[in-house]
Amino acid sequence: MMTTSSMVNSLLLPIFACALLVATLSAAAAGSFNNDFDITWGDGRAKILNNGQLLTLSLDKASGSGFQSKSEYLFGKIDMQLKLVPGNSAGTVTAYYLSSQGPTHDEIDFEFLGNLSGDPYTLHTNVFTQGKGNREMQFKLWFDPTKDFHTYSVIWNPQQIIFMVDGTPIRVFRNLETRGVSFPKSQAMRIYSSLWNADDWATRGGLIKTDWNNAPFTASYQGFNADACVWIGGGSRCSGAGTWMDYEMDVTSQKRMSSVQSNYMIYNYCTDRKRFPQGLPTECTIN
């Protein structure tokens, strides 16, 4: 069992270390896709346009496409605006996520599962810590995500990970290390995104296949902003600090999150008792 003072130390030390880094270093956040990202696959299907202000991914029968951030981040508030594949997007998946590398990697996922015209997209989220995921929560959205750009954000600090849609928190994963749940806090993550064909499972569990007559499918990105700590050569350079680094949801934000979860959540691993017959994961049993 942990003594009270070692618990306090293990909570305060990382926060203190980060505050020091934040106080001594700062970096500019604004940029362009040319400066911040590399196109990693798709053989010309991913394009950076408008002087670096717009990025498009496309998917056709031969291939999807993807990009990744040049930088690795360890904590931050990371915003990206996405406009998803319009029309009949069934079978397509647009993945947007942060991930570290290796078998014990950490990962923070947004995945957008396409649908038939008029049927709602599913926003699928997950959190991996130390290589272990199985923490899916799925939502419908309260708008058509294919008509306009909407902002999908992650606030990741030593206390919690918050998923946000247009500034509304939809999900939080708290740091419950003191209760034996691992939390991503020491492995830097890159940002990744890809558009690919997953018609073996994505839409109504794989029942509805991609209609290649509609190809190429295109998703668009703009307005990237990272107020974050950039991990460089074993050290961290932070920007926009003081706001996100110790951000906690206030009562209003918590109410907005509860309202989204009761109105738009369509799957929650924390209530799936059939899936966890030996008992729900620890983080699900702590308020």
Ligand X SMILES: *[C@@H]1O[C@H](CO)[C@@H](O)[C@H](O)[C@H]1NC(C)=O
113 or 219: CB nearest ligand X: 113
Amino acid at site 111:
E
Asked if residues 79 and 151 have their Cβ atoms less than 8 Å apart, the reply is yes
Of 88, 100, 153, 203, the one binding ligand X by CB under 6 A = 203
Write each residue from 92 to 131 as x if it is in contact with ligand X (CB under 6 A), else as -, in one continuous string: ---------------------x-x---xx-x---------
Catalytic residue among 107, 136, 177, 248: 107
Rg (CA), the chain: 19
Give least dist CB 142 to ligand X, A: 15
Beta strands, E only, 114-167: 122-128, 137-139, 150-157, 160-165
Closest residue by beta carbon to ligand X: 119
Residue 102: exposure state from Cβ atoms within 10 A (0-12, 13-18, ≥19): exposed
Q: What's the rounded Cα separation, in Å, for the pair 271 and 275?
A: 9
SS3 283: helix
Strand partners, 73: 189, 230
71 or 122: CB nearest ligand X: 122
Window of 182-190, 201-209, 248-256, 270-278 that interacts with ligand X by CB under 6 A:
201-209
Give least dist CB 21 to ligand X, A: 41
Regarding 204 and contact with ligand X (CB under 6 A), the answer is yes
Q: What's the rounded Cα separation, in Å, for the pair 8 and 113?
A: 42
Active site residue 111: yes
Catalytic residue among 111, 136, 177, 248: 111
204 or 209: CB nearest ligand X: 204
Binding site for ligand X (CB under 6 A): 113, 115, 119-120, 122, 202-204
The catalytic residues are 107, 111
